[in-house]
Amino acid sequence: MSAIEWLRIRAVELGASLCTAAILIGGLAVGVPFLRARIPEVFLYSFCCVSAVVLRAGIDLAVRMVMLGARAFAGGHILISPLSRSPAGVVR
């Protein structure tokens, strides 16, 4: 996956979470009765909705950086043990 694809996917996720938060806070501003009864929960859910996407993107980026570092450290060669038990058949 290229960087542009990754950014596009994260932008869609962030846009969806911001839209959800805007709908909740907008409904609160309009005066929807079941939202007005739960004002703290609406703000908490809106904050968590947006911050979860940002946190997920950060964790995903951190894992990608660790994997990139591991590939650079390994030198590109992975030893795979053969299906048979003979040690002479190690595949590179």
Q: For the chain, what is the domain count?
A: 1
pLDDT in tens, 22-44: 999 999 999 888 888 888 999 99
**Residue 84 maps to a domain:** no
The residue-averaged pLDDT of 61-86 equals 73
Note down the domain range covering 34: 3-74
Amino acid letter, 31: G
Q: How many CA atoms lie within 13 A of 46 on its CB side?
A: 18
Q: Which residues pair with 91 in a beta bridge?
A: 80
Task: Pick the more confident residue, 88 or 5.
Answer: 5
| Distance between CA atoms of residues 23 and 43, nearest Å | 11
**Residue 92 maps to a domain:** no
**Residue 43 maps to a domain:** yes
| Distance between CA atoms of residues 23 and 2, nearest Å | 32
Q: Is it the case that residue 48 has pLDDT exceeding 60?
A: yes
Q: Which residues contact 91 (CB under 8 A, 6 or more apart)?
A: 79, 80, 82
